[in-house]
Structure 1
Amino acid sequence: MNQVICPDLETLTTQALMLIQKRVFASIDQQGRATLALAGGSTPKRLYQQIAAQSWPWHQIHVFWGDERFVPPDHPDSNYQMTRTAWLDRVAMPGSNIHPMPTVPLTPTAAAEAYEQELQAFFALQPGEFPVFDVILLGMGDDGHTASLFPHTAALQVCDRAVTVGQKGEEPRLTLTIPTLNFGRCVIFMVAGANKAHAYTQVTASQPNGEQYPAALIRPQGGDLWWLVESTILER
Structure 2
Amino acid sequence: MSEVKVFPSKSALIASAQEFIINRIEDTITEKGICTIALAGGSTPKPIYEAIALSELSWDKIHVFWGDERYVAPTHPDSNQKMAKEAWLNKVEIPSDNIHPMPTMGNNPQDDALKHDQEIRDFFPCPQGFPSFDIILLGMGDDGHTASLFPHTKALENEENLVTVGNKEDSIRLTFTAPLINSAHCVVFLVSGSNKQNALQQVFSENCNSREYPSKMIQPQGELIWFFDSDAVGELEII
Alignment pair present for 1:234 and 2:223: no
Per the TM alignment, residue 105 of structure 1 is displaced from its structure 2 partner at its CA by 2.1
TM-score, normalised on structure 1?
0.97
Distance 1:73 1:55 in 2: 26
Q: 1: distance between equivalents of 2:129 and 2:20?
A: 27
Give runs of aligned pairs for residues 1-236 of structure 1, distance below 5 A: 1-126=2-127, 128-221=128-221, 223-236=222-235
**Secondary structure of 1:220's aligned partner:** coil
Shift of 1:59: 0.5
Q: How far off is 1:131 after superposition?
A: 1.7
One-letter identity of the residue aligned with 1:60: K
Q: How far did 1:47 drift? A: 0.6
1:108 deviates by 0.5
Q: How many pairs are equivalent?
A: 234
How far is the alpha carbon of 1:208 from its aligned partner?
1.5
Deviation (angstroms), 1:106: 3.8
SS at match of 1:49: helix
Query: Could you tell me how far 1:207 is from its partner in structure 2?
Result: 2.4
- Structure 1 runs (4+) greater than 6 angstroms displaced: none
- Determine helix, strand or coil for the equivalent of 1:225: strand
Q: What's the CA shift for 1:107?
A: 1.0
Letter in 1 for 2:9: D
- Work out the CA distance in 1 between the residues paired with 2:115 and 2:160: 15
CA distance in 2, matches of 1:9, 1:88: 23
Shift of 1:22: 2.3
CA distance in 1, matches of 2:81, 2:131: 20
Query: How much does 1:217 deviate?
Result: 0.5
Shift of 1:125: 2.8
Flag structure 2 segments of 5+ consecutive residues without an equivalent: none
Provide, for residues 98-139 of structure 1, a one-character-per-residue CA deviation record: whole Å limited to 9, x for no partner.
Answer: 00000022411011011011101100331x421210000000
Alpha-carbon distance in 1 for matches of 2:210, 2:41: 21
**1: CA distance, partners of 2:185 / 2:100:** 19
2: CA distance between counterparts of 1:234 and 1:122?
Answer: 38
Q: TM-score, normalised by structure 2?
A: 0.95
Give CA deviations for 1:150-203 in whole Å, capped at 9, x if unaligned.
000010010011000001012210000000000110100000111011101111
Q: Give identity over the alignment, percent.
A: 47
Residue 23 (structure 1) shift: 1.7
Other structure's SS at 2:227 match? strand
Deviations 1:185-230 (A, max 9, x none): 0100000111011101111112221010000110012x00000001
Mapped to 2, the partners of 1:124 and 1:182 lie a distance apart of 18
